[in-house]
Amino acid sequence: VKIYKVMSCFSQMEELQKENVYIKDAERVEKLLCQLIQDGKSKLQIITDFDMTLSRFSINGKRCATCHNVLENSSLVPESKKQVLDELRDTYYPIEINAKMTIEEKIPFMMEWYTKGTGVLVECGLKQSDLSLAVKESNALMRDGCDWQFSTLHEHKVPMLIFSAGIGDILEEIIKQHSQMYANMRVVSNYMDFNHDGMLVGFKGDLVHTYNKNEGALRNSDYFTTLKDRRNIILMGDSMGDLRMADGVPNMQHILKIGFLNDNIEERLEKYKEAYDIVLVSDSTMDVPNAILKKIL
C-alpha cells in the first residue's frame, strides 16, 4: 500500500503539473520523492538560500528588495553613496546572472562587488538601532507560504539552514517582521560588526558571496556533522552558486534541488533544468516545496 501511495504521488501532486514547473528528469524526481517520503522527517534537513529564494523577487512587476537593497534604498544612506551602490549593482548584477560566464569567471567580480559594496555601507555611519525601520520601510517580502513552511518545519523539528550572501542582521529582521525566527533555523551569512556605540564598523568573519557558498559550507561542516543522520536534503536556491550549499554534508544520501528562476529566464532555463531537479519559473510562492513537505512530514 505504501509503495502504491508513494509511486503515484508525483502525478497526484497538482502543484507539479503547473505550466511554470520544469522537470527535466521526471523519473529521477519521482524516485527521489518516493525516497524522501519513505525515509520521513527524521532523515530530512533543509538547506536554503535567502534573497530571491525565501524572499520575493517582485510584486506587481516591481522588484522587491534584497538584504543589501533594504539599506541602499533607505534614508540611512546618503544620496551620494546611493549613487555609488547603484553603479556597483549596474556593473556587477548583470555578471551575477550572465548565462554565458562560468562560476569561476564570475567569482573575482563578485568579490569586487561585495568588497566595494560593504566598504560603502561602512562609510555611511549606519546604526544597529536603525535597521528595523529600514526593513519596515522597504518592500522586502517573503514568498507566499514561507510562514507556513517555517512554523511547520519547526513543529516537526526539521532543521533549516539559511545560507545567504545577503546580510544576516537584515535577513533575520525581514523574517521577524513577516514571520518568525524559530529555534530550528540556523543562519550563515554576512553579519554586521557594530562598535560599542552601535555604529557599523565592518562585517564579521569570512565574506559570503553568491558563488563561494561551497567554501562556507565546508567551514560550517560542524553544523552538518551534528545532523549526520539527516541524510536527505531539500535544497532551495535561485542562483547556480546555491547548488554548492550542501557541499559540507557528510554521508548525504538523497538531495532534491529546487531552483527558482526569476530573471533572465529564456537564457538560463536550459542550464537551470540541467542543474536543478525542479525549476520554478516566475513563481512568487512556496507552493511546490510546501506540497512536497506535506507528503514527507
* Catalytic positions: 49, 51
Measured in whole angstroms, the distance separating CA 205 from the mean position of its chain's CA atoms is 20
Q: What 3-state DSSP class applies to 74?
A: coil
Residue 50 engages ligand TMP in binding (rule: CB under 6 A): yes
Cell of 227: 545532523
Residue 51 contacts Mg ion per CB under 5 A: yes
Site size with Mg ion, rule: CB under 5 A:
4
Count CB atoms within 10 A of the CB of residue 171. Answer: 26
Stretch that binds ligand TMP, among 150-158, 160-168, 199-207, 269-277 (CB under 6 A): 160-168
Closest contact distance (angstroms) between CB of 132 and ligand TMP is 20
**What is the rounded (10 degree) CA torsion for 63, 65, 69, 73?**
80
Contact 121, 69 (CB under 8 A): no
The answer to the question of residue 166 lying near ligand TMP (CB under 6 A) is: yes
User: What amino acid is encoded at 246 in this protein?
Assistant: A
By CB under 6 A, tell whether 169 contacts ligand TMP: no
Give the interface segment with Mg ion, choosing from 11-19, 132-140, 222-230, 235-243 (CB under 5 A).
Answer: 235-243
> For residues 34 and 165, which CB has a smaller minimum distance to ligand TMP in the complex?
165
69 binds, among Mg ion, ligand TMP, none (CB under 5 to 8 A by kind): ligand TMP
Q: Which is nearer to Mg ion, 150 or 211 (CB)?
A: 211
Query: Residues 60, 234, 32, 268: is their CA dihedral positive or negative?
Result: positive
- For residues 165 and 188, give the distance between their C-alpha atoms in angstroms, rounded to a whole number: 9
Write the DSSP symbol of residue 66.
Answer: P
- Using CB under 6 A as the binding rule, whether residue 248 contacts ligand TMP is answered as no
Q: Which of 72, 169, 238, 277 binds Mg ion (CB under 5 A)?
A: 238
Which one of 43, 56, 68, 106 is in contact with ligand TMP (CB under 6 A)? 68
* CB proximity list for 217: less than 8 A, separation 6 or greater: 163, 224, 244, 245, 246, 247, 248, 249
Only one of the segments 39-47, 111-119, 227-235, 285-293 lies at the binding site for ligand TMP (rule: CB under 6 A); that segment is 111-119
- Number of helical (H) and strand (E) elements in the chain, helices listed first: 13, 11
Q: Which is nearer to Mg ion, 49 or 169 (CB)?
A: 49
Q: Which of 74, 138, 210, 262 binds ligand TMP (CB under 6 A)?
A: 210
203 binds ligand TMP (CB under 6 A): no
Which set of grid coordinates corresponds to residue 177? 517582521
C-alpha grid cell, residue 258: 529546487
Among 36, 47, 52, 258, contact with Mg ion (rule: CB under 5 A) = 52
If DSSP codes are grouped into helix, strand and coil, which group holds residue 263? coil
Give the footprint of ligand TMP on this chain (CB under 6 A): 49-52, 66, 68-69, 85, 89, 96, 113-114, 117, 164-166, 210, 239, 241
